[in-house]
Amino acid sequence: MPADLVIRNALVIDGSGSPGFPADVTVTDGQILGIGTGSAAAREIDAGGKVLCPGFVDTHSHDDGAFLRYPDMGFKLAQGVTSEVSGNCGFSTIPNEPGRTYMPGDISGSGSGWTDLDSYFEACMAQKPAINNAMLVGHNRIRAHVVGLEKRLATTEELAEMRGHVAKAMEQGAVGFSTGLIYEPGRYSDTAEVVALASECRPYSGIYATHMRNEGDKLLEAVDEAMLIAREAAIPLHISHHKSAGRRNWGRVSESLAKVDKANASGMDITLDVYPYTAGSGPMWQYVNLQNIDVEWAKGVMIASCPDFPEFEGKMVPDIAQAHEWSIEETVTNIVTSPKGHQVICIHFIIDEADIETNLRHPRMLIGSDGIPELKGNPHPRLFGTMPRVLGRYVRERRVLPLEEAIRRMTSASCERFGLVNRGLVKEGYAADLVLFDPETVRDLATYEAPKQEPAGIHMVIVNGKVAFEDGRHTGVGSGQMLRFKR
């Protein structure tokens, strides 16, 4: 029997961080069968000396709902992403009560027929998704499910019920527990609540992934809280989209990383992720206090999607203000209080370029897009561009980190962190999630002005042994799987 496919004449960068070597890679039954001299196969692919490496892992996604709305996952697949971790920042689509609306403008997407991780995964698989999905169970969702959006601490009974939801998700194969402590309703919790919930991950070796309570003036205090939570819960810590927001705080990622290094040296287990852009993005209402609008912040805000004023999409707040002869405060208020104001997604320029490079140099820094899969309007370009931007801009052009190291973090290191076993290396017996790309030409094409552009230089993406993307064409093979955490 010939194998399914063989990729000949590739420069294999295997994901371990070791230098590349020339080889053929043979794939059959969804797995890597051999590396070296290729076997006869039903399909022969000539790599022409280009790089073949494991498929990339997007460690920070908000694609829970996208797996149902856009199962082709084109914006990730075209980047070479073969697996991702959804349910970040406390927003997950589980637990779910069918028909209930949890939060206005919930970025994880509203629920449908499922109730828990098992039934959500089943619903995803019925759509034949293009890529693999692993999931964190989110604090904001659990709190909205049990306590609602009330601005208070949870009662003893509510806390017990919330713990049960974390435990159930972990039992069903979630990779850990996530928080988004700047967001409603997670921000109404105290540290003790988060410790109690995170502790439910311990029997399953799950991790605590956090969008910390503060990423600006109180960044270091927030890092202390995150470390305290992980220490008390006795589980590993993963800090999401590490940044130091706001001009006056720029440069302080070094202090925060020094804290992380010190804690790791003393026996903690902390990793982080970053997206390679100077702007963040999220639901605008979550960042705005209408009684006290931060004008400095608003001046750096671009509107990504805005159902009531689609003409604002892709425009900066000061430009909208000028065109309508509104003040900055009026502009923000008019946008956020419009009938569908809760669905407005904004892009805010809050990050220093030098901090991105400091982050990328750190050996425990993984890559996560944090893309919000709202294809109407002008999404943040990270949704389409994150992985190629790391490889093109930061590896090839700016030489911030070597190619092998970037690939290691985007593959094996991410799989190890999130319990994706048998993935993340080009190795015999491993799942055949592979990317063939040209290191000389790979680059992101998505910009703030034209964000829905697939990158250049990614030639082929193989998901579980099937060709899912080939020279700009999405094959629609739908070979993604739902990945359950094992350790």
Distance CA(353)–CA(346), nearest Å, equals: 20
**Smallest distance from Cu ion to CB 60, Å:** 6
Note whether 64 binds Cu ion by CB under 5 A.
no
Distance CA(454)–CA(472), nearest Å, equals: 8
Looking at residues 363 to 402 of the shown chain, list those that interact with Zn ion (rule: CB under 5 A). none
Q: Which residue type does 262 have?
A: K
**Smallest distance from Cu ion to CB 227, Å:** 20
Rg (CA), the chain: 22
Note whether 139 binds Zn ion by CB under 5 A.
no
| CB-nearer residue toward Zn ion: 52 or 223 | 223
* Among 85-93, 255-263, 299-307, 451-459, the segment contacting Cu ion (CB under 5 A): 85-93
In the three-class reduction of DSSP (H, G, I as helix; E, B as strand; rest coil), residue 303 is classed as strand
**Smallest distance from Zn ion to CB 211, Å:** 3
Number of helical H runs and strand E runs in the chain = 15, 20
Q: Which does 281 bind (CB under 5 to 8 A by kind): Zn ion, Cu ion, none?
A: none
The answer to whether the CB of 243 falls within 8 A of the CB of 280 is yes
The set of residues, in sequence order, having a beta carbon less than 8 Å from that of 475 and lying 6+ positions away, is 466, 467, 468, 469
**Smallest distance from Zn ion to CB 292, Å:** 22
Distance CA(283)–CA(288), nearest Å, equals: 10
Note whether 211 binds Zn ion by CB under 5 A.
yes
**Smallest distance from Zn ion to CB 238, Å:** 12
Looking at residues 347 to 406 of the shown chain, list those that interact with Cu ion (rule: CB under 5 A). 370
| CB-nearer residue toward Zn ion: 274 or 432 | 274
342 sits in which H/E element: none
**Smallest distance from Zn ion to CB 370, Å:** 6
CB atoms within 10 A of CB 258: 11
* Among 87-95, 193-201, 332-340, 466-474, the segment contacting Cu ion (CB under 5 A): 87-95
- Pick one of 7, 12, 33, 89: the residue that binds Cu ion (CB under 5 A): 89
| CB-nearer residue toward Zn ion: 89 or 346 | 89
Which structure tokens are listed for 372? Answer: 């919000």
Which structure tokens are listed for 233? Answer: 């819960």
| CB-nearer residue toward Zn ion: 213 or 408 | 213
Distance CA(189)–CA(179), nearest Å, equals: 10
| CB-nearer residue toward Zn ion: 25 or 274 | 274
**Smallest distance from Cu ion to CB 192, Å:** 24
| CB-nearer residue toward Zn ion: 211 or 238 | 211
Instruction: Kindly write out the interface string for residues 74-103 of this chain, putting x where it contacts Zn ion by CB under 5 A and - elsewhere.
Output: ---------------x--------------
Pairing assessment for the beta strands 345-349 and 301-305 based on DSSP bridges: antiparallel
CA-closest candidate to residue 274, choices 167, 388, 197, 358: 358
Distance CA(124)–CA(129), nearest Å, equals: 7
Q: Which residues bind Zn ion (CB under 5 A)?
A: 89, 211
Q: Which residues in this chain contact Cu ion in the complex, by CB under 5 A?
A: 88-89, 370
